[in-house]
Amino acid sequence: MKKTVFLGALAIAGVAGVMASAQTLDDVKARGALNCGISTGLVGFASQDANGEWQGFDVAVCRAVAAAVLGDASAVDFTPTTNQVRFEVLNSGEIDMLARNTTWTFSRDVDLKLEFAGVNYYDGQGFMVPAALGVTSAKELDGATVCIQAGTTTELNLADFFRINNMSYQPVPISTASEAQQQYLAGSCDVYTTDASGLAATRAAFEDPSGHIILPEIISKEPLGPLVRHGDNEWGDVVRWTLNALIAAEELGVTSANIEELAAGTDNPEINRLLGSEGSLGEMLGVSADWAKNAIAANGNYGEIFERYIGQNTPIGLARGLNAQWTEGGLLYAPPFR
């Protein structure tokens, strides 16, 4: 009898542990800090600067969410995660969100019970080879040895690409990006493959970036975005709309320079709703009225973040390409704020 009571108590404790995760927004507010999972280090996306502060394109998403929820862009505890453990860390509740160039796929969304809050970078898998190799197309890579990072979608794309084109190759799966780069630079593989943005970031860190070329073929669609646990829709909405606010801000011409001025009220009702001087979007979302203003003020709008960390004027030197606003021929398209 007593045992039954004990088991019952344990059952409640077990279920309660899971239930608690359904109120991430309240947890974050109570804690006063956002736990954000990021990459272990990828120049431009997430890397530590000289002061030990995390900086980068993905890091900026974490900071924007922290600013939206807590009003403080620095209230973030960063947890660097590897490819292998990132989803477990998220699902276990150790982090509230993951912003770590993670590809949105069906099985991750549906089978792994994750929820993607949108896309912050439209990417595709590419190949990098030493210029001395004389290869100009990925179709010439028959028989090559290819270094890949284990535990990513790139392994599957690679296998498909070589099978479709009837070519053979030797995969060298390496668990961390830095180790894989070492192998590539030592010449123990001919080709290094990962997302094209990652290739650009990797090449920028090389001693001689001009000695390596990125082949024109993009062999897959890799929409990268922040994600949260499945089943906590309120929290998912916060992350999704924070990202949308950054994108919409660029479209509406709201920048970190003019945001104070625009927040006082403008003739454009959409800007007013976004920045909280009109309507009650913040209240609906369960955050303060100036949530979007804080999020944008943290690092600027999407375009500013892009230019600062990975744009043409950085060592990474990525063009906007697919990541331009829809009005400029890109894929970025934030739903309306109303």
Residues that bind other proteins (CB under 8 A): 10-11, 14-15, 17-18, 83-84, 87-88, 91, 107-108, 111-113, 133, 141-145, 150-152, 155-156, 158-160, 162-163, 169-175, 179, 182-183, 186-190, 230-231
State the virtual CA torsion across 314, 255, 332, 232 in degrees, nearest 10. Answer: 110
Output the smallest distance, CB 29 to other proteins, in A: 24
Residue among 102 and 299 whose Cβ is closer to other proteins: 102
Helices marked H in 32-176 — which ranges?
A: 57-70, 86-91, 106-110, 154-164
Burial code (b: 16+ CB inside 10 Å, e: under 16) for 117-129 equals: bbbbbbbbbbbbb
Output the smallest distance, CB 105 to other proteins, in A: 10
Strand 191-195 and strand 144-149: the pairing is: parallel
User: Is residue 42 helix, strand or coil?
Assistant: strand
Residue among 91 and 268 whose Cβ is closer to other proteins: 91
Residue among 120 and 152 whose Cβ is closer to other proteins: 152
Output the smallest distance, CB 130 to other proteins, in A: 9
Output the smallest distance, CB 175 to other proteins, in A: 5
Residue among 53 and 160 whose Cβ is closer to other proteins: 160
Distances (CA, A) of 76 to 55, 125, 218, 300: 12, 30, 34, 17
Contact (Cβ atoms closer than 8 angstroms) between residue 243 and residue 61: yes
Output the smallest distance, CB 269 to other proteins, in A: 41
Output the smallest distance, CB 155 to other proteins, in A: 4
Distances (CA, A) of 32 to 28, 35, 129, 264, 306: 6, 10, 46, 27, 27
Contact (Cβ atoms closer than 8 angstroms) between residue 125 and residue 152: no
Contact (Cβ atoms closer than 8 angstroms) between residue 249 and residue 256: no
Residue among 198 and 311 whose Cβ is closer to other proteins: 198
Residue among 103 and 244 whose Cβ is closer to other proteins: 103
